Amino acid sequence: YDGTWVVRLTAGHPAKRLNSVNPLDPGDIMHMADRIGRASRRFDAYGRPLTFRMSPLSGPDLASHLDREGWSRFDESLVMRLPLAGAQLDAAMDQIPLKDISRFIGALLKVSGSDVSLRPGLSEIIGAIQPEAGLFALEDGAEALATLICVHDGDLAGLFEVATDRSARNKGHGRNLILSALKWARLRGAREAWLQVEANNVPALALYHSLGFEEVYRYHYRRPPGHE
């Protein structure tokens, strides 16, 4: 932390959400230039480009400061929610999450088209999840079709790494897997599901809206000149 700025850095994975500064109080605006400089040095030490994740909690003062400094804005995303009490999940397939992290990561890398070099980082991240995490994979024999991680934490169920293999899209696999994961989470006491999706991912947005998810807020990323 730097004040109410959460500084996230992950050596084993380059994802922006795992390597960004997350301001959580719009009133925390003291010494912004000095604090940005400190963050920049920390990111340099990790070999990561300095990145800020700007949500409504970031506030207008920080946004104006970054505007004046010429920072770029990119990759807008939505946070969406779905109350589970009325969700139509009874007909969803009962699916047991995988216990084999290595098998799940192999499926995730395959369906998302990610580089195998991310395997160690993904293994570290998944192994470090503290709440109950369901690793869901839809497979046809040995062929992975879709994956997701459902993290059950009290009343909440978060969906992460939702992906369907390019050759298996538009066949309902993603929908079916999401419904199974939400059913699993609701049986464990979750009352609300949430997820994040990029604003330009039109097929995913259509799917989530059709399942009843609604937008809560949006966020985007910013980087200084020369680090776009």
**Tens-digit pLDDT string for the chain (228 aa):** 899 999 999 988 999 999 999 999 999 999 999 999 999 999 999 999 999 999 999 999 999 999 999 999 999 999 999 999 999 999 999 999 999 999 999 999 999 999 999 999 999 999 999 999 999 999 998 899 999 999 999 999 999 999 999 999 989 999 999 999 999 999 999 999 999 999 999 999 999 999 999 999 999 999 999 876
Task: Name the fold adopted by 86-190.
Answer: Aminopeptidase (3.40.630)
Q: DSSP secondary-structure letter at 57?
A: G
Q: What is the DSSP string of 152-208?
A: EETTEEEEEEEEE-GGGTTSSHHHHHHHHHHHHHHHTT--EEEEEEETT-HHHHHHH
| Bridging pattern class, strands 52-54 and 214-223 | antiparallel
DSSP H helical ranges for 72-154? 101-112, 119-127
C-alpha distances in Å from residue 64, one per residue of 17, 34, 58, 59, 196: 22, 16, 11, 9, 25
Question: CA-CA distance, 133 to 213, in Å (whole number)?
Answer: 21
| Helix H or strand E encompassing 216 | strand 214-223
Spans of all domains in the chain: 5-77+219-223, 86-190
Count CA atoms within 13 Å of residue 148 on its CB side. 27
Q: From 21, 19, 17, 18, select the one nearest 6 (Cα to Cα).
A: 21
Considering the entire predicted model, what is its pTM?
Answer: 0.92
